[in-house]
Structure 1
Amino acid sequence: MTQEADLSERDDAQGRTVALSGSLSLAHLGDIPQRIDAIDGEVAQIDLKGIDHIDTIGAWIVHRFAERTQARVIGADEDATRLLEVVARNDTPLALTEPEPHPTIRVLAQIGAATKIVGHTMYGLLGFLGATVMAMGHMIAHPRSIRINALVQRLEVVGIAALPIIGLMSFLVGIVIAQQGSVQLKQFGMEVLTVNLVGRLTFRELGVLMTAIMVAGRSGSAFAAQIGTMMLNEEVDAMRTIGVQPMQALVMPRILAAVIMMPLLGFYASICAIIGGGFLCAVSLDIPPITFIQRLREVVPITDLYVGLVKAPVFGLIIGIAGCFQGLQVRGDAEEVGLRTTSAVVQAIFLVIVLDAVFAVFFTWIGWT
């Protein structure tokens, strides 16, 4: 039967000796840890001759007791000696945790870190824009370097495959604009101005802006994930090794596809939104489709269409650059792909909205209102 651990003290020629006996295992320690902690003063030896069994916990207690009192361990058998050596090798002191900073200091530190990241990202995006311009110049000077097959494939993915979702979204947005506008205008008996609201807002702003947001979430994220996975698998490095430039083979087809398809998708989205607004006007406001179209021709200037078509390729350029740039920044593991994909979408949408505000001020300044 296993004997419970016990402790005794005696004075030998070498000095004060603490003798442990019984089983120094977790199940049989009893109050030994508390009794050991209560021992004060100098201890010359720790005698383990009476130990029947010892486990890692017991060895750790003996080791800490010996360290605290600078005592010498005697009478340990082979197993106990081996456990004491293992515990001694792995007994690393715990790092002291730094005190929590003041909340104000912590908030300021987070703001500073975020500002640093934003500045670094903007610097990288500007550098990537310069590399894109140089690659574009090289393609113009050497038309044979254009990868037609890759470009056509990207055109299909960015443009044709996106038609259903963009069309449905724009149709519903047109209905919402017409419904909300008619409710407000009805208070003044001016429901007919709903046509003005739908036409001008769709062609000038929402058609292209909503399309850019959809393309950023759909294609911009795909650009970052595809290139990021290739970076993770070292395929991009392999391309450079065999003499293929990633800017020409991977980046430019995607950016060109976004630039080319954005005006077409923006115009398509505007038409779908107009159809949605016309549908609600016909159902809710009793405005026939012919009257709706005639009213559109009267109140929507051609400059509104030009505004949308001018903004669209710039938005496409921003989306393509943000997606490809973030994809090429992937390092480390698969989690980085997800983080960079999210960053690509957020940056693209943010930059699109900022540029849309800049365009609004610019077109107002030149008289396209």
Structure 2
Amino acid sequence: MTGLAQFEIVEGDGGSALVLTGPYLVSTIGSIDDDLRGMDGGVATIDLSGVSEIDTVGAWLACTLATEHDAEITGASSRAQRLLDAISGLGGEEKLGAPRLPFWSRVPDAMGEKIFNARSGIIGVISFLGALLISAGSLIRNPRRFRTVALFRQMELVGVSALPIIGLMSFLIGIVIAQQGAVQLAQFGAETLTINLVGRITLRELGVLMTAIMVAGRSGSAFAAEIGTMKLTEEIDAMRTIGISPMEALVIPRILAAVLMMPLLGFYASCMAIIGGAVIGDTMLGIPFWTFLSRIQEVVPTYDLWVGLVKAPVFGLIVALAGCYNGMQVKGNSEEVGKRTTLSVVAAIFAVIVLDAFFAVFFTEIGWA
């Protein structure tokens, strides 16, 4: 039957020969591929003299059969021979891989490359801050352009929507601090100092710090993903085309929302942590719930509250900047969105912890210890 790839096995003095006839193209060999691969016994030669046409797939099939049966290919035309020469030696069983440098050379090279690449990241952040300040100045001169609706929408997403998870997290942290603190203080007969421990550590440090970490994972990542997706789908380019500044429409409302809501969330988290400590005090230490709360006002200095409230907007600024900056850096493909989202969370949490350490030293130096 003309137009179809066919084969037959011919017995000869030199052994069996597999004779291929007809066109061996990607469109014709599908019907005989299983039969060729399921042949019983071996063949000594593969004869291509009867092949009228052949392409890369046909040549690859002939080479595969020759390798499996340890057979010699004969009767190939000049075109077929060129394809066979190009495909021979490309077996899929061989493991390919780039040479791997030794550990003592690979690690310093990688670290050096990351440090060198950090230069472009620092320049990018400084440029982003400059563009942000210019946009903020432009909005101050033209307040009618400020997007109040967008600001309140972001305040709802950053603040109000986060109340349940932050409240639960802080409540549980307060329970853990009170329980573990009471166990250790009991060795010295000072269980009542659990009130001091819970009040000071939550209002001064953990309340706002854990809130910043939660906001970074929740809202900072959302900022990066939203802006990154808009960048990828060219929505930001379209905004520039019609005369809308992405910094004014997207970045500034998000940054303001984080800065304004972080003090409220931090204070709310501290209150929930204290309530969690009061629950443990009532159930484990014999300290009545309301007595625990009233003692907080006596044993916790007022400046501990101010320390937390001063740090909160700075942490909110860092989290929002990390999210918006990494969102604006997305380019290429959708994988970049996930990469930049992850990077924004990591960078924000790292920066918040480092700044918290600086704040701790600073407030200690000025006597707010």
- What range is the shorter-chain TM-score in? 0.7 to 0.9
Answer with 294-303 or 178-187: which moved more.
294-303
Question: Match of 2:107?
Answer: 107
Among 19, 22, 32, which residue is 1:23 paired with?
A: 19
Paired letter, 1:170: S
Question: Match of 2:9?
Answer: 3
Contact 1:330/1:337 (8 A) holds in 2: yes
Answer with 258-267 or 128-137: which moved more.
128-137
After superposition, the CA RMSD in angstroms is 3.4
User: Distance in 2 between the 1:127 and 1:207 partners?
Assistant: 32
Q: Shift of residue 311 of structure 1?
A: 0.4
Question: Match of 2:226?
Answer: 226
Paired letter, 1:239: M
User: Distance in 2 between the 1:296 and 1:103 partners?
Assistant: 54
Question: Match of 2:244?
Answer: 244
Question: Match of 2:179?
Answer: 179
Q: Shift of residue 136 of structure 1?
A: 2.2
Q: 1:271 to 1:81 in 2, by over 3 A?
A: same
User: Distance in 2 between the 1:57 and 1:4 partners?
Assistant: 22
Paired letter, 1:2: E
Contact 2:151/2:254 (8 A) holds in 1: yes
User: Distance in 2 between the 1:187 and 1:346 partners?
Assistant: 39
SS at match of 1:2: strand
Q: Shift of residue 302 of structure 1?
A: 0.9
1:188 aligns with 2:184: no
Question: Match of 2:168?
Answer: 168
Gaps of 5+ in 1: 9-19, 37-46, 65-72
State the Cα deviation string for residues 240-274 of structure 1 (Å, max 9, x = none).
11111100001001000000000011111111111
1:281 aligns with 2:281: yes
Contact 1:4/1:28 (8 A) holds in 2: no
SS at match of 1:320: helix
Q: Shift of residue 91 of structure 1?
A: 7.0
User: Distance in 1 between the 2:232 and 2:177 partners?
Assistant: 44
Q: Shift of residue 112 of structure 1?
A: 1.8
Q: Shift of residue 221 of structure 1?
A: 0.5
Contact 1:4/1:30 (8 A) holds in 2: no
Contact 1:21/1:49 (8 A) holds in 2: no
* Structure number, greater radius of gyration: 1
Contact 1:150/1:253 (8 A) holds in 2: yes
State the Cα deviation string for residues 84-134 of structure 1 (Å, max 9, x = none).
45445667989x965432221111122223323444333322332232223
SS at match of 1:166: helix
Q: 1:133 to 1:83 in 2, by over 3 A?
A: same
1:123 aligns with 2:123: yes
User: Distance in 2 between the 1:98 and 1:137 partners?
Assistant: 52
State the Cα deviation string for residues 279-319 of structure 1 (Å, max 9, x = none).
11111111123322332122111111110111000000000
User: Distance in 1 between the 2:74 and 2:166 partners?
Assistant: 81
User: Distance in 1 between the 2:189 and 2:74 partners?
Assistant: 102
Question: Match of 1:146?
Answer: 146
User: Distance in 2 between the 1:147 and 1:92 partners?
Assistant: 65
User: Distance in 2 between the 1:62 and 1:198 partners?
Assistant: 76
User: Distance in 2 between the 1:114 and 1:29 partners?
Assistant: 58
User: Distance in 2 between the 1:7 and 1:363 partners?
Assistant: 98
User: Distance in 1 between the 2:132 and 2:320 partners?
Assistant: 10
User: Distance in 2 between the 1:32 and 1:105 partners?
Assistant: 50
Q: Shift of residue 163 of structure 1?
A: 0.7
User: Distance in 2 between the 1:347 and 1:103 partners?
Assistant: 27
What TM-score do the two structures reach when normalised by structure 1?
Answer: 0.81
Q: 1:266 to 1:48 in 2, by over 3 A?
A: closer
Aligned counterparts, 1:1-369, within 5 A: 2-3=8-9, 22-23=18-19, 27=39, 30=42, 32=44, 55-57=58-60, 60=63, 76=76, 83-87=80-84, 99-369=99-369
User: Distance in 1 between the 2:281 and 2:62 partners?
Assistant: 85
Contact 2:8/2:18 (8 A) holds in 1: yes
Contact 1:22/1:51 (8 A) holds in 2: no
Gaps of 5+ in 2: 1-6, 21-35, 68-72
SS at match of 1:3: strand
SS at match of 2:267: helix
What TM-score do the two structures reach when normalised by structure 2?
Answer: 0.81
Q: Shift of residue 177 of structure 1?
A: 0.6
Contact 2:224/2:323 (8 A) holds in 1: yes
Question: Match of 1:14?
Answer: none
Paired letter, 1:311: K
User: Distance in 2 between the 1:28 and 1:88 partners?
Assistant: 27
Q: 1:23 to 1:158 in 2, by over 3 A?
A: same
Number of residue equivalences:
337
